[in-house]
Every structure is written in C-alpha cells, then in structure tokens.
Amino acid sequence: MFTLKEEFPQYYNYQGRRISKKLSNTNINLLNNHYYKYTLDKKIIDYHKVKDEKKKINFNKSNFSQINLEIGFGDGEYLLRSAYSKPKELFIGVDVYINGIVKVLKKILEHGIENIMLSNVNCLFFLDSLASKSIDNLVIINPDPWTKKKHHKRRLISFQNIQLFNHVIKYKHSIKITTDSPSYVEAIQEIFNEKKEFLDELKFEILNKSDDLYGISRYQRKAIEKGQNIYLLTI
C-alpha cells in the first residue's frame, strides 16, 4: 500500500485533506497486510504506466450482476450498506481519504464482505483507467462543496469530469450526485446549459425523507440538521 503511494505519489494527489488523524501502527499493519486483496490501485497505476487500451480495467469476467462505483465514499456508510444489501453486486469505492479506507477495510474483514473493491487514488486517474461502459451505476454523495469562489475550480463536477463519468457508464441517467450546496447545483446546471450539444439532459430534484439517498451519510445528515435541502442531480 505505502510502497505504491511513495513510488507513485502523483496518482494520490488531491487538493483537500487526505488524512484526518495520524494512522496508528495497528492501522498501518492492517493496510499493509490486507489492503492489497481489495484494492484496484495497482491495476490503475499499471494502466497509467503504459496507457495501453488493453490494460484498461473492465469487469467483463466478473460474476457480479451489477458494477457500482461510489466516488468519495468518506466513512463508507453508504458503500457498506449497499454492499450488505446487494450481495450479488460489486461495489467499488474510491476515496483519497486514507482513514475512510481503513474504516471500510476493517468492516470488510470483520464481516467477511466479498463484494467491495477499494481505491485510494485520485478518482480522475481511476476513471481514466476504466474501459468505457464498464459501470452500471455511479454515485457521488455530497462531493466537497468548495464554497469559496476562489476554490470553485477544485470542484469535482466539471464539464471535463462529467465527460469522464459518461465514458465509463453503460447507460444514460445512471450517474447520481447529491449535494446540499445550492451554489454547486447552480454551477452544474450552468455547465449543462452551456454545453447542451455535448451533454444529455440533467434531472434535478429535492430529496424527501422517504427517498433512498436521503440522510445516508454523516456529511449529509449534518446538512439536514442545519435545515438544508438535499438536492439530487441525475446525469
């Protein structure tokens, strides 16, 4: 785990926080001893070293009925819940946040979960290494809002990145993004207005308590407690 990160730091780079508290020796050992069984990091880096189309990751040979991808899974609450409830489907979680990787890895080992794969690289490298049309459902639960105007350029949902998302999904309208940030919603709507000729329709709704994606993460619940709406954008 750490050898890859040290050897190829460029794939793990990210402008926000990647570690919230220092990893204990126990957690470092956990990563060193078990992460390799559940990670796609090596495959991603192997692809980028040669950029050979044949080395792109696809799940053609997998026995899973659906391939789901969650970008920025944070503490992994939604990723784990989804994996428990749909054991025949594969759930891939990508997050640069190493403490989140540790949390999910612990649960995987504790409960013998067999349908989660993880990656700690910046998701843009991951998306780039995937074969086209390899993902059934892509979900992003409350991406970092980067509320200050000077930080808007750091936002994950940009025209360029939407094109990367579109490239890896099998079907239209299988990308779901939730956010509590009205300014982020407006910025995404603006992208769709400006780039109409390249993008399909954007669906927008405000989630209700009874909706599946409502209140499904710590980050989201914090926003709900403050009385904020949770918006769902479907691409």
Ligand X SMILES: C[S@@+](CC[C@H](N)C(=O)[O-])C[C@H]1O[C@@H](n2cnc3c(N)ncnc32)[C@H](O)[C@@H]1O
Stretch that binds ligand X, among 58-66, 121-129, 164-172, 196-204 (CB under 6 A): 121-129
For ligand X, the nearest residue by Cβ is 72
For position 134 contacting ligand X by CB under 6 A, the verdict is no
Q: Among residues 4, 219, 231, 233, which is the contact residue for ligand X, using CB under 6 A?
A: 219
For position 82 contacting ligand X by CB under 6 A, the verdict is no
Q: Which DSSP category does 185 fall into?
A: H
For position 69 contacting ligand X by CB under 6 A, the verdict is no
Q: What is the DSSP string of 27-87?
A: HHHHHHHHGGGTB-HHHHHHHHHH--GGGSB--TT---S-EEEEE--TT-HHHHHHHHH-T
Say how many C-beta atoms besides its own lie within 10 A of residue 147's C-beta: 11
Q: What is the DSSP string of 122-134?
A: -HHHHHHHBPTT-
Please tell me the distance from the alpha carbon of residue 36 to that of residue 42, in angstroms, as a whole number: 9
Q: Among residues 39, 47, 74, 185, which is the contact residue for ligand X, using CB under 6 A?
A: 74
For position 146 contacting ligand X by CB under 6 A, the verdict is no
For position 31 contacting ligand X by CB under 6 A, the verdict is no
> For residue 85, which amino acid is it?
S
Cβ proximity to ligand X, 94 vs 188, nearer residue: 94
Q: Please, what is the minimum distance in Å from the beta carbon of residue 218 to ligand X? A: 5
Strands 175-179, 231-234: parallel, antiparallel or unpaired by DSSP? antiparallel
Q: Please, what is the minimum distance in Å from the beta carbon of residue 179 to ligand X? A: 9
Which of the residues 136, 144, 180, 200 is marked catalytic? 144
Write the interaction track for ligand X spanning residues 34-53; mark x where CB under 6 A is met and - where it is not: --------------------
**Alpha-helical runs (H) found in 113-230:** 123-129, 159-168, 182-194, 218-225
Q: Pick from 174, 184, 179, 162: which is nearest to 217 by CA?
A: 179
Q: Among residues 220, 223, 231, 232, which is the contact residue for ligand X, using CB under 6 A?
A: 220
Stretch that binds ligand X, among 33-41, 107-115, 116-124, 164-172 (CB under 6 A): 116-124
For position 122 contacting ligand X by CB under 6 A, the verdict is yes
Q: Among residues 1, 12, 93, 100, which is the contact residue for ligand X, using CB under 6 A?
A: 100
Q: Clarify whether 75 is annotated catalytic.
A: no
Q: Please, what is the minimum distance in Å from the beta carbon of residue 221 to ligand X? A: 9
Tokens, residue 128:
């780039």
Please tell me the distance from the alpha carbon of residue 114 to that of residue 16, in angstroms, as a whole number: 30
Cα–Cα distance list, 86 to 49, 100, 133, 215 (Å): 34, 21, 21, 19
Q: Catalytic amino acids?
A: 144
Contact residues for ligand X, defined by CB under 6 A: 14, 16, 71-75, 94-97, 100, 122-124, 141-144, 156, 217-220
